[in-house]
Structure 1
C-alpha cells in the first residue's frame, strides 16, 4: 500500500467520525472549512508529512575528507600557531616558577633535637611526699596528671638504698623498702612510656648525706659500683640518669667518669645524662658543662640572679647578664633552666608566691630545657625545711587551678612552637626590674616575653629590632591584658610582678 493511500484512509477515518466527537471541532460541522498553516483543510483533518527514507542526514566528514581538509594551508598555519603558543606559555610558567623559587627565602635547616629538648622535665625527689600512697605505685597513678601538664620527662628519686654518710650501706640496685618494689618500678616505666613520658632515675650515691659521693677516699669505689648499677637500671628501661656532684667525680676520677658517661650516652637509644651542681657563676657553670660533657647541667645560676635578694632593693640586671653569658657560650640544646629542686626546695619558697607565675613564664620562654620541682605548677611551698605533700584533693584545689592552667598553657606552647623550642634568643630591653626578650626562628611566629619584677606597674616602650607596632597576647600572669587581645608595643603596660608572652607573625 502506498503512502498516499495510507493518508487517504486516515482522512476518511476522521471524516466518518461524528462531528461532535471529532477533535478540535467544538461541535462544528464536519464539512466546515478552517484555515491551516499549510492551507485550507476540513475541520478534523490533519496533514502529516512523513519524511522520505532517502532524505539526507549529516553524519560528519569521513576520514578521507578530514585528511583532505587538514592538509590545507590555512589549517596547517593554525596548528603551528597553537603549538607555538602552547610552548611559549609553558616556558613562561616554568620561568615564573624558577623566579619564585629563587627569590623566596630559604628555610633554615632544623637543629638536631633530643626528646629532652621538646618540653619540660618534672622532678619528683621525694616519692613519699608526692602522692597519698607515698610509693612508686602512687607515682604511677599520677601519670595522667603529668601527661596533662605536657611534661616530656619525669626525673625520679633517688630511690636506692643508702644510709646517710655510710658508704657501706650503699646498694645502687636495691629500691628502698619504704619507696616500693622493682615490680612497681617496672610498671611505672611501662605506664610512663605509654603516655609518652621518659623516665630519668636519680642515682646520686649519698643523697641523704652531706657529700653526694661520700668522702674523697670513697669516690673511686662508689664510681665503680655505679658503673655496674647503670647497666642494671638501663636494662629496666630508664631513659636517663641524674647525678649530683658531677664536678667532684669528674675531676677526682676522670677515667671512671668517662666510663660512666659512655654507659649512659652511648648506644642506639639516646639516653639523657643530667648533672647537678651547686655553682652559681654563669661562666663557671658553662666551663663545667664543657668539661663534664653531660647533656644538661642544673645549677644555682638563676637562683642567685633571677630571684629576690635578701634585704630588699632587688635588681634583676644580673639575671639578664647570666642568661646572656650561658646562651652565648653554649648550644641552647645543652642549656637547662631551674630554680630549686630536691635539695633547695620549691619555686614558691625561693621567689615568693607573687612571682611564681612570672618565673614559670621565664623558665618556659628561655632557650633551653625548663626543669621544675614537683608542686611548682601549683605554687607549692616548703614547710619547716621538709618537703610538703601534694594536696591533690584538698580544699585549696580551686585556688591552685589558675596556676596549673598557666603551666599547662605554657607547656603546650613550648612543645609546639619552633621559636620556643629551638629559636634564637635576643634581649630587647633590660633594666633593674624589667626584661624583654625575643624568641624567633626562620619564618615561624615570633614570641616576645616581657617581665616586670617590680611591685608597681610600669609602661615599657618596645621599639626597634624590627619589632612591629603591635602584638597579640598569648599568655598573661594577670587578667589584663586578656588573652587574644592586641597591645601596642610602644606603650606596653604591665602590672606589678606581671609577665606576658606576646606573639606576632613573621614578615620578610
Structure 2
C-alpha cells in the first residue's frame, strides 16, 4: 500500500457558492464548508476540490480572478481558509484549490496596467494585437461563450484576446514575467498547506505564436453553440503548453522532495484520449491527472463503455495513473443524463474502475438538473446564447441538507433555487434510508477504502454482452468482480470458473440474488460487486 494518496482516494468537488451558507446571505462560504467536513469525512472521500474562492467581480462566478492570493469576502477571509485547511487535515481530508492561470478578470491590477497604454510594462502580460487589414479582429477565433474572442480597446487602438468573456482577458504565457508571477501564486497556496490544484482549462494556456485563422468544423450543426463552428486548432493545445505543465509539476514535486507532503496537479483538458495522454508528460513529467471526461458524454451502452475503458487503459503511458469523472459544474448531472436507476449503476462504475474518481457535490444524493426560470438565470453562457440549453445554473444549485427552510443551506433565500424534491431528497432524510443512493455511495466508498483491489488494483475486462458489462479488479490474492446491467431486462451471467464460489459484497438493489452454481442473476438496472473465493 505504498501508492501516493491521490491514487487511492476519491476526490469530491465543492462549488462553494452552493455548498453551505454560514452567514445567511444566500451564498455558500468557507465557514459553511468547514461546518460540513464531518459529513465529507463520513461519506468516505479523501480529498475536496474547491472551485474558485479568489476575489472576483463574479462575472463568471469566480473564474474571473481579480486577486490570486486572497479570498473573496463573499466566501470569507484568508484566516477562514487557513482554519478550513487545518480542520480538513485533522479529519484526514486533503484540500485542492481551483487554479485559474489562463485568464484573469479585467479588473485585476495586472490588466488595468496592461490596458493603460501600449508602453506600460505589463502591456505584454496579456495578448494584444493590431486590427486586421479591414479594421476588424486580428483573426476568426471564437470565444467559448460565443462571439469573437477579440475585444476592441478604443483607448489604445488594439484588440485583446479572451477565450471566454470579454471580462476575462487571457494572460500571455509566452512572457517570462507572467510565468514567474503565476508560479509564485502556486507557491503562495502550497506554502499555506494546500495539497494541490485543479488547473482550469490547461489546454488553452498557449496559443499559436502567429495567430492564424482556425479552420471550419465540418461536423458543426446549428444548436451546438457558436464556439463549435471552428476547430480550435491554433487557439488551444499548442506543443509548448507541455513545458508549462512540466514546470508546474516541478514546483509541486519540490514540496514532496522537501518532506512537506506530496502535492497533486489535475488538469482540466477536454481533448480526445490520444491527445490527452501528452499531458502526463514525457521525460519531464506533466500533471498527475489529466481529467478524463469520457463518461460524461459517451453513449450509455455496454460495448461503448467497454471500448472506452480498454482504449483509455491501453493509451496510458507507463507512469500514467487513470482517473474518471461523471460530472462537474459545467455539465448536466448524471441523474439527468441517465435517470435515477442508472445513476446508481453509474456510481458503481465510477467507484470501481481503476484510477482516481472525482465526485461532484450532490450526485451522491441523485440530484438532477434544476429548472431555472428565465428571470433566475445567472450564468453568462446562457445569457449570451439563450435557448441552446448551454447554461450551467441547473447543475450549480444549493446542496439540500435537511427538510428545514431552504433545505438547511441558508436562512436567507438561496442565490439559485433548490431542487424541487428537496424535502425528501436531502442529506438528513437519505442518510436514514438504507436503500438511498447516498447510502450506496457511502458503502461504495467504504469498500474502496477497505479493498486494495478497488483502490489500487489492476483491471481486467471479463464480459461484454448486450446490456451487461463485467470486469475484475485484482490486487495480490484479492479478486473482485463488478457486474453492471445497463438496461431494464434481467440477465443471467455465467461467472468464470475461478469465480463460481463468489459471495456478494454490494448490490444497488440491496437484496440481490445469491450466486448459484456459478450463475449470477443480474436484475433490471442492477450493479453488483462480488468477491471471488
- Give the TM-score, by structure 1 length: 0.69
Q: Distance in 2 between matches of 1:303 and 1:169?
A: 27
Q: Report what 1:376 is aligned to.
A: 363
Q: Distance in 1 between matches of 2:440 and 2:491?
A: 22
Q: Secondary structure at the match of 1:123?
A: strand
Q: Distance in 2 between matches of 1:346 and 1:161?
A: 28
Selected match of 1:435 from 469, 475, 478? 469
Q: Report what 2:172 is aligned to.
A: 218
Question: Following TM superposition, by how much is the alpha carbon of 1:504 offset from its aligned partner in structure 2, in angstroms?
Answer: 1.8
The answer to whether the 8 Å contact 1:332/1:422 transfers is no
Q: Which has the higher helix share?
A: 1
Q: Secondary structure at the match of 1:481?
A: coil
State the superposition RMSD in angstroms.
Answer: 2.7
Q: Distance in 2 between matches of 1:159 and 1:223?
A: 21
The answer to whether 1:258 aligns with 2:154 is no
Q: Secondary structure at the match of 1:436?
A: strand
Q: Secondary structure at the match of 1:238?
A: coil
The answer to whether 1:418 aligns with 2:452 is yes
Q: Report what 1:487 is aligned to.
A: 515
Q: Distance in 2 between matches of 1:284 and 1:119?
A: 26
- What do the CA deviations read for 1:353-392 (whole angstroms, capped 9, x no partner)? 2211111111111111111001111111222341111110
Q: Distance in 2 between matches of 1:176 and 1:439?
A: 44
The answer to whether the 8 Å contact 2:493/2:519 transfers is yes
Q: How does 1:26-65 map to 2 (within 5 A)?
A: none
Q: Report what 2:303 is aligned to.
A: 317
Query: Unaligned 5+ residue runs, structure 1?
Result: 1-109, 309-314
Gap change, CA 1:243 and 1:460, over 3 Å in 2: same
The answer to whether the 8 Å contact 1:381/1:388 transfers is no
Question: Following TM superposition, by how much is the alpha carbon of 1:127 offset from its aligned partner in structure 2, in angstroms?
Answer: 0.9
Q: Distance in 2 between matches of 1:366 and 1:285?
A: 19
Question: Following TM superposition, by how much is the alpha carbon of 1:162 offset from its aligned partner in structure 2, in angstroms?
Answer: 4.0
The answer to whether the 8 Å contact 1:204/1:212 transfers is no
Q: Report what 1:456 is aligned to.
A: 489
The answer to whether the 8 Å contact 1:156/1:200 transfers is yes
The answer to whether 1:155 aligns with 2:155 is no
Tell me the number of residue pairs that the alignment of Structure 1 and Structure 2 aligns: 380
Structure exhibiting the larger radius of gyration computed from Cα positions: 1
Q: Report what 1:114 is aligned to.
A: 4
Query: Unaligned 5+ residue runs, structure 2?
Result: 23-27, 106-143, 146-162, 207-237, 373-391, 404-422
Q: Secondary structure at the match of 1:337?
A: strand
Selected match of 1:275 from 263, 267, 289? 267
Q: Secondary structure at the match of 1:201?
A: strand
Selected match of 1:243 from 176, 188, 199? 199
Question: Following TM superposition, by how much is the alpha carbon of 1:433 offset from its aligned partner in structure 2, in angstroms?
Answer: 1.8
Q: Report what 1:299 is aligned to.
A: 292
The answer to whether the 8 Å contact 2:333/2:367 transfers is yes
Gap change, CA 1:413 and 1:169, over 3 Å in 2: closer
Gap change, CA 1:196 and 1:399, over 3 Å in 2: closer
The answer to whether 1:363 aligns with 2:358 is no
Q: Secondary structure at the match of 1:172?
A: coil
Q: Report what 1:67 is aligned to.
A: none
Gap change, CA 1:169 and 1:220, over 3 Å in 2: farther
Question: Following TM superposition, by how much is the alpha carbon of 1:223 offset from its aligned partner in structure 2, in angstroms?
Answer: 4.3
The answer to whether 1:180 aligns with 2:76 is yes
Question: Following TM superposition, by how much is the alpha carbon of 1:207 offset from its aligned partner in structure 2, in angstroms?
Answer: 8.7
Question: Following TM superposition, by how much is the alpha carbon of 1:345 offset from its aligned partner in structure 2, in angstroms?
Answer: 4.2
The answer to whether 1:289 aligns with 2:280 is yes
Q: How does 1:312-351 map to 2 (within 5 A)?
A: 315-330=301-316, 334-351=321-338
Q: How does 1:135-146 map to 2 (within 5 A)?
A: 135-146=29-40
Question: Following TM superposition, by how much is the alpha carbon of 1:204 offset from its aligned partner in structure 2, in angstroms?
Answer: 2.0
- Give the TM-score, by structure 2 length: 0.66
Q: Report what 1:200 is aligned to.
A: 96
- What do the CA deviations read for 1:169-188 (whole angstroms, capped 9, x no partner)? 63211212211111110010
Q: Report what 1:477 is aligned to.
A: 508
Q: Distance in 1 between matches of 2:483 and 2:82?
A: 43
Q: Distance in 1 between matches of 2:519 and 2:169?
A: 58
Gap change, CA 1:501 and 1:168, over 3 Å in 2: closer
